[in-house]
Amino acid sequence: MADLAFRMAVLRLIRKIPHGQVATYGQIAAMAGFPRRPRQIGMILKGLPEATDLPWHRVVNAQGYVPSKGRWWGAMVQIQRLREEGIAVDDLGNLALSAHQWQGIRQRRKPAALRILGL
């Protein structure tokens, strides 16, 4: 059950990454509540159907690099999609992470009545 919860949390978060921004594998893992599972983010994305509308291309590694090891063709597709969103990516897959990194979802503050009741 935890693996299904992890997968669903990951897919929900990736869907929220805005156009023109990226997130790292570790960032998504931490936001999903599983900070020690960034490599599994890649496994989830690798298993997506080819025609998915999920913006998987917006997930990069912690150095701002489009990983290509063992998936050169997929890396080229990812680079092209990022470029189409206005993100400058060099031919090796490097991008300025600090300029394009998504800051994540903002936590909404609970109404005062619920905070007072400890809910």
Q: Can you list the alpha helix ranges (DSSP code H) found in the chain?
A: 2-16, 25-31, 38-46, 72-84, 97-100, 112-116
The answer to whether residue 108 scores a pLDDT higher than 70 is no
**1 and 81 in contact (C-beta within 8 Å)?**
no
- Write down the domain spans for the chain: 2-116
Q: Tell me the per-residue pLDDT of 42-88, one tens digit each, with 9 for 90 and over.
A: 999 988 998 999 999 999 999 999 987 766 778 999 999 999 999 99
CATH code of the region 2-116: 1.10.10.10
Q: What's the rounded Cα separation, in Å, for the pair 70 and 42?
A: 12
CA neighbor of 65 nearest in space, from 39, 43, 97, 37: 97
> Does 112 score more than 80 pLDDT?
no
pLDDT at residue 111, as a whole number: 56
Pull the structure tokens for residue 72: 């050169």
